Amino acid sequence: MYKVFVNERPLILTDKIREKGDGAYFMMNESEVLAAVDGLRKKKIDKAYIYHPNHEEILNKFSKYIPRVVAAGGVVTNKKGKVLFIYRNDKWDLPKGVQKKKENLEECALREVEEETGVQNLKIENFLRTTYHIFKRNGKLRLKEVHWFAMKTNYDGKLVGEEKEGIVKVKWKGPEKIRKALEKSYINIRILFEPPSL
C-alpha cells in the first residue's frame, strides 16, 4: 500500500478491496486515476483508493499516468537537539530537492539541505521513510517521491535560505516551536514527526 497526498487528502494505492470502504474506489487506468486525483484536488472527495491486483507493480503502473519525480531531504538536528525548518509558500517545510543524474539518494539529500539552508558538516544517521504527494508544474501533474533521512550537524554558522527556491526563512526549532510549525505545515512533514507505528 502507498499513501499519496493530493491537496492534503489521501489517495491510497492498494492491492486489496475492502468491503466497507471509507472512500471512493477507482481502477488503475488513466481516466480513473485522473478522475481520482481531480476529485481530491477539487475537494469533491475526501479519500480515494486506486486498486491494482499486483502490489509489486502498483507504483510503476501509477507512474505511467502521473510521472514520478524522485527527491530526497533531511530532518536535521543540531548539537542542541533543535530541528532545521525552512519557510516557503506560507508553510513550514523541511529542506529537500530533486535527485540529479549519477547522484544517489544520500548525496542528493545532503546537497539539497546545504543548498537550501547554508548548513554544512551534515552527517546522515539513518533513513526515515518515503513520502508521496502530487503537485502540478507547468500545467502537468507529477508524483513526488521524497526519501527522508535523519541527519546531524555541529554547524552553528549563519542560516541562508535559497532565494531561487522561494525560501524566506530558515530556523532551528525546539519541541514547542516544532509543534507550532507543524500546525502550519504539510501532512507529509507532520508524518515525519509521528512515532513509528508498530
Place domain 71-192 in its CATH homologous superfamily: Nucleoside Triphosphate Pyrophosphohydrolase (3.90.79.10)
Q: Does the structure show a pLDDT above 90 at 197?
A: no
CB within 8 A of 88, min separation 6: which ones?
A: 161, 165, 166, 167, 168
Q: What percent of the chain has pLDDT over 90?
A: 90
Domain range annotation of the chain: 2-65, 71-192
Note the pLDDT tens digit of each residue in 133-143. Answer: 999 888 999 99
**Chain-centroid distance, C-alpha 189:** 7
Q: Where are the beta strands (DSSP E) in the chain?
A: 2-6, 9-14, 24-27, 48-51, 68-77, 83-88, 91-93, 96-98, 122-137, 140-153, 169-173
3-state secondary structure at position 104 = coil
**pTM: predicted TM-score of the whole model, two decimal places:** 0.93
Q: How many CA atoms lie within 13 A of 65 on its CB side?
A: 17
